Amino acid sequence: MGKVNNALKMLAILRSRYKVTRKELAEELEVGIREISRYKDDLESAGVYITNIKGKYGGYVLENKDYLLNLELSKEEENSLEYVLEYTKDKNFLYYKELKSAINKIKAVSPKGNTIINKIQTNHKGAKAKIEYEVERKKWLTINDGIINNRKLNIEYKSAQGKSSKRVIRPYALFTYYEANYCIAYCEERKELRQFKLMRIDNIELLNEKFEKMDFDIDSYLYNTMGLFKDELVKMKLKISYPYAKGFSEVSWIKDEKITDYIDEGYLIYEAECFGKKHIINWIMSMGSNCEVLEPKALKDEIIKEYENILKNIYKGAR
């Protein structure tokens, strides 16, 4: 991309956000940090003034965002917007209406307007969480308010066993897993970080009482976790047979994993160390006879016990 185009793209990024670091700009434009400083000088020569805030939380801030630019969208960029819109339509995305509105505004100011010839069609297979959109959205926004402003929440929560309890929580993060929405929060009753499924929250109230946030990073918290819960660390070694192993190797299950392929012998060896033993057991069982647990023995014994219980239920139902 040329120097002028890069400078204009940098201006577009600064117009869309409050503050951006030179490193972030360099990564997005795929250039060196020195080039970002040159683009800043070029823009200021054209009357576009950028403030450089120094320090740990510094970055570039556009002083005046009222610049009318002829930023024409390419066909591929317009198609990407349409794809994102279609992809999120049936995925329980709680900001779908705002996303649709924003995309329409972007296309409206594009010189070509809405010129997409072929409507992008997507289809989402698999299970879908049963949520009430508006109810879930209100919960999300209330929790997000608590996260931003460090305010506690009073919730009435229903466990997987159907038991209701009242909790005071300190919200830290929101995330989506298999189209269901979750909140990571410190539970004052349990005295630890817990995960709360939004659809199981019956009542929620934003309290005036504030809390001091501990250092928290959601990526670090969920790092090398199979599924949702960090119930126990498991160091496992599995033998996956072909042809199932072909599809298995096309998926990255966790960040730190090792796959050794013995395709001529008809199997691969999968090694990983991760949290979430309950999910790991269900995951291994879903592979049926295609998977053999080599290590650890305790994991193998628990899976055997689970299969024995399944057989007991089958025999019980057959009587």
pLDDT at residue 126 above 70?
Answer: no
pLDDT at residue 249 above 80?
Answer: yes
Q: DSSP letters along 54-100, please?
A: -STT-EEEES--------PPPHHHHHHHHHHHHHHHTTT-TTHHHHH
At 236 the pLDDT is 95
CA distance 90 to 113: 25
Segment 126-146 mean pLDDT: 84
At 228 the pLDDT is 79
Average pLDDT of the chain to the nearest whole number? 84
Segment 258-281 mean pLDDT: 93
Count of beta carbons in the 10 Å neighbourhood of residue 6 = 19
CA distance 119 to 86: 10
pLDDT at residue 144 above 60?
Answer: yes
At 161 the pLDDT is 86
115 vs 163 pLDDT, higher one: 163
Question: Which residues touch 113 (CB under 8 Å, ≥6 apart)?
Answer: 107
223 vs 209 pLDDT, higher one: 209
pLDDT at residue 117 above 50?
Answer: no
At 115 the pLDDT is 47
At 113 the pLDDT is 45
At 43 the pLDDT is 86
Segment 219-228 mean pLDDT: 84
220, 259 Cβ separation under 8 angstroms? no
pLDDT at residue 242 above 60?
Answer: yes
At 122 the pLDDT is 57
pLDDT at residue 95 above 90?
Answer: no
Segment 212-219 mean pLDDT: 86
Segment 152-174 mean pLDDT: 92
Indicate the DSSP class of residue 18.
Answer: S
Summarised one tens digit per residue, pLDDT across range 36-85 is 998 888 888 887 888 888 887 788 988 765 554 555 667 777 778 877 88
Segment 263-279 mean pLDDT: 93
At 112 the pLDDT is 53
CA distance 83 to 72: 18
